[in-house]
Structures are given as C-alpha cells and as structure tokens.
Chain A
Amino acid sequence: EAAVTQSPRNKVTVTGGNVTLSCRQTNSHNYMYWYRQDTGHGLRLIHYSYGAGNLQIGDVPDGYKATRTTQEDFFLLLELASPSQTSLYFCASSDLGLNQDTQYFGPGTRLLVL
C-alpha cells in the first residue's frame, strides 16, 4: 500500500499570512498532486508534478505556488493567504502506468484562513 503523509494536519492562519503545506510519499512514484476539496466543488486540482523540479499547472492554480524538491517531497505554498483558501487540502501520488494509474491520497490538511 502506497504511503502518502501530509503535515500539518490542521493549520490556522490570518489573512495575508504565509503558509506551507508539506507532502511526502515513500513509494518512488513519479507523479504528485495537490487538490483542494470544498463542499459543492468536489476535488479540484491545484498543481501537479511528474518529477523533481517539475511543476504543472492544474485547474485552480491562482494564489498557490508549488515546488517539488525531490521525488518524495511536494510542497504547496500560500504566500498571501485569503479566506477563500480555507479548505481541505489533499496530496496524492501515482506511478503512471499504461493508460491507467492509481492515485494514492494522503490524510489531508485542514486549513482555516481567518
């Protein structure tokens, strides 16, 4: 079973604050993803990466930066947090196979921006 861990699990910050969410996977997967989950919007892809140093823009990237420092570690950065970024954030990883892949999700980080 793939292992994806996220930290912190809960975070409270103020508007304009600086937040970094961390994700680590220990299964040598090439792809990693950051999603946000909101009621009424489901899971929406923020950024993803297919390897160290690579970054791909997802569907809702505004206000977010991301960096993939190693194959294992993927970070999501909110440099000027806003209340609209209050959400449940999930990291996932996958090892892209021929025409299919399984994304393994972490336990999530709940972020509250006051």
Chain B
Amino acid sequence: QQQVRQSPQSLTVWEGGTTVLTCSYEDSTFNYFPWYQQFPGEGPALLISILSVSDKKEDGRFTTFFNKREKKLSLHIIDSQPGDSATYFCAARTGNTGKLIFGLGTTLQVQP
C-alpha cells in the first residue's frame, strides 16, 4: 500500500505555463515533506521542502503548499521552462528517523 500517493503520473505543459503536482498521505505523524527533482541519468536532488507547521514555502518559481487538515501537499511551478522537464517526487518523513517515504513520481514535460 502506497503511503504517499502522487498525481498525475505524467504531465505536459507549455512553456510559460503553471505546473501543479499533488500528493496525499494518510499517516498523521508525517512532519516533513520534501520534493525531489530528478533529471534523466542523475540521482534525485532536493528541490524544496516544507515542515508540517507551515502551509506554504516559496523558492523562486517553485512553491509548495501543505494542507494538514486534508493531508495533502502540492508543488506549483510558475513560468514553467523546458529545463524544468524532469521527474518530481514528493516524500514524507516521521519524526527524526531520517527515513523518507517517496511517492511514485510525476514525469513533467515542458514543451517550448
């Protein structure tokens, strides 16, 4: 059973558009939610993260929103660029174990 559900599985947007990726979870003890970006042939790299005490975190064109009541989070990419084409993973962690649970990923294609 997937503890962190991610959607959509794949997505194509036009350059300049806004991309929205979403994740949901069940475990209310999750308290830290990172998003990782992975380019083909590379390992994932941290893009942005949020703690459960916050509802929004912004870093340039990337913003992550967290809704504790609905147990959902989202990643918004404004002014999407072809260089944003990658696979995006949301993840969740409980406490201070270091152990992350990853979603299945969303493959994003930004068309020029």
B89 in contact with A48 (CB, 8 Å)? no
A43 in contact with B51 (CB, 8 Å)? no
List residues of A (47-97) whose CB comes within 8 Å of B's CBs: 48, 50, 56, 58-59, 90, 92, 94, 96
A103 within 8 A of B: yes
Please classify how large the interface on chain B is, using the bins under 10, 10 to 19, 20 to 34, 35 or more: 20 to 34
B46 in contact with A102 (CB, 8 Å)? yes
B104 in contact with A40 (CB, 8 Å)? yes
A31 in contact with B34 (CB, 8 Å)? no
A105 in contact with B98 (CB, 8 Å)? no
How many chain A residues touch B (CB < 8 A): the figure is: 29
- Nearest CB of chain A from residue B72's CB, rounded to whole Å: 18
How far apart are the CA atoms of A45 and B42 in the complex, in Å?
18
B43 in contact with A42 (CB, 8 Å)? no
- Complex contacts, B6 vs chain A, CB 8 Å: 42
- Complex contacts, B104 vs chain A, CB 8 Å: 40-42
How far apart are the CA atoms of A41 and B96 in the complex, in Å?
24
Nearest first, the 5 A-B pairs at minimum CB distance are A105-B43, A42-B104, A43-B102, A31-B98, A102-B46
Chain B contact residues, CB within 8 Å of chain A: 6, 31-32, 34, 41-46, 49, 51, 89, 93, 96, 98-105
